[in-house]
Structure 1
Amino acid sequence: MANDLTIYHGSQQLVETPQFGVGKPYNDYGQGFYCTESPELAKEWACPVKNDGYCNCYELHLDDLQMMRLTHGEFNILSWLAILLTHRRFDISSPVAQGARDYILSHFLPDTSGVDVMIGYRADDSYFSFAEDFVSNTISLRDLNMSMQLGTLGEQIVLLSKRSFGHIEFTGYEVADYREYYYKRFERDQKARADYARRKKTLQQLTEDIFILDIIREGMDNDDPRLRLQLSL
């Protein structure tokens, strides 16, 4: 149907009936059911260890569901980062990182009340390290935004509300062979790291580059045109 979305969940288990309230609360967007529109990515996520996994397939019926897409419209990379800071465990031991966390949460955290389904970047190890570098004032906003395109780690679709679990229908599965997908997962993350390392070595700071300390000192918020310019470079 036109308002249905085919999504995939990679797991070491066959998941015919996803359960609300199951999962780790410190995942990227909190407790929820994490999926992707890419069966290849789901097969990689299904093989974090050297065991075969399952690429579970579903139809998500979107009618009457409230969706938030963090990579489009009024939201930007700082909206994604604020949600990540809410749930994930960052290295924020330095005063700069502590101040950055507090400012990002107070100025860029979207209102997620009533959201049934969240769509945004997946913070695999490499992406998570990029976010930590920005919070620590090591890289600029422009570099963070561009770094999120490295390694093609893709977006994830997360069912958050109890209501959303009533809109998902299991349609089948494929076995993910770890002999292929365990190594593909590793190679994708390593590619993102390698691309990032090469980029850091050749960074040419632009005069208009903005770092988190600049954002704090200038009191910038989500509607600031300077941030929009950075994110469009």
Structure 2
Amino acid sequence: MKEIIYHGSDHIIEKPEYGLGATTNDYGRGFYCTKSLELAKEWACGKGSDGFANKYELDLDELKVINLNQEPYNILNWLAVLTKHRTYWQNSSISAEAKAYLQEHFYVDISDYDVVIGYRADDSYFSFAQDFVSGTISLQKLQRAMHLGELGEQIVLISKKAFSHIKYLGNESAESSIYYNQKNDRDKRAKQAYRSEKNITANLDELFILDIMRGNIQNGDPRLQ
């Protein structure tokens, strides 16, 4: 199966290189892409300058792909991976314990895979995840929040093998006068919707991180449904 994917950048990348990128990105070092041309252009202009949406064909045949947004995985698996790589988190009395619990009971070793698919914890999305880990919002509110702003999924090439399965097809320019504002507007809409959602009183059946830890909830627990 072949997919068309895009990578937003301030320069043209005809040959993506394995082993580059920060270890503190969502899934560690890798080549971060999206199926959305519009999102790629927004990411390309993230610093307020013009950029490019580099276009590629990714041949997924013979590649091991893990999609953290599909069963048997749940949002806590994604969050455990995120807490493993992202270094800055809100300080609270339970954040450190929460991160340790998530990594012990929900962490998925993605190093065995070639490609990772999952949420992009960018801007507002990362703040939503932080609120859950610090005990401010319930699991149910986090799940709803991750669809606000329609930031979509990211496709990340993380193995050397994956980089041999990608073919450069060209690029489209991204004007910061359009896409920088569009990116900020998308994030602003997500934050506004989140504030409204956050102010809604939690249902007694909703799970907070303390409930998950006290109840020793792990993968496959029906309470996560």
TM-score, normalization by structure 1: 0.95
Between the aligned residues of both structures, percent identity stands at 50
Give distance in 1, aligned partners of 2:174 and 2:111: 35
CA positional deviation for 1:189:
0.7
Aligned residues: 225
* Structure 1 stretch displaced more, 150-159 or 203-212: 203-212
2:212 corresponds to: 215
CA positional deviation for 1:205:
1.5
Matches within 5 A, 1:1-233: 3-201=1-199, 203-228=200-225
CA positional deviation for 1:70:
0.6
8 Å Cα contact 1:116/1:161 also seen in 2: yes
Query: Alpha-carbon deviations, 1:191-217, whole Å to 9, x = none?
Result: 11111011112x122121110000000
* Structure 1 stretch displaced more, 28-37 or 110-119: 110-119
Which one-letter code corresponds to 1:129 in the other structure? S
Which one-letter code corresponds to 1:11 in the other structure? S
Task: Go from structure 1 to structure 2 and tell me whether the alpha carbon gap of 1:95 and 1:204 turns closer, same or farther (over 3 Å shift).
Answer: closer
In angstroms, what is the RMSD of aligned CA positions?
Answer: 0.9
Q: Which runs of 5+ in 2 are unaligned?
A: none
Give distance in 2, aligned partners of 1:18 and 1:158: 12
8 Å Cα contact 2:91/2:134 also seen in 1: no
Query: Alpha-carbon deviations, 1:143-164, whole Å to 9, x = none?
Result: 0000001010111000000110
Give distance in 2, aligned partners of 1:92 and 1:175: 36
Give distance in 2, aligned partners of 1:139 and 1:52: 37
Q: Which runs of 5+ in 1 are unaligned?
A: 229-233
CA positional deviation for 1:110:
1.1
**1:37 partner SS:** coil
Give distance in 1, aligned partners of 2:88 and 2:213: 19
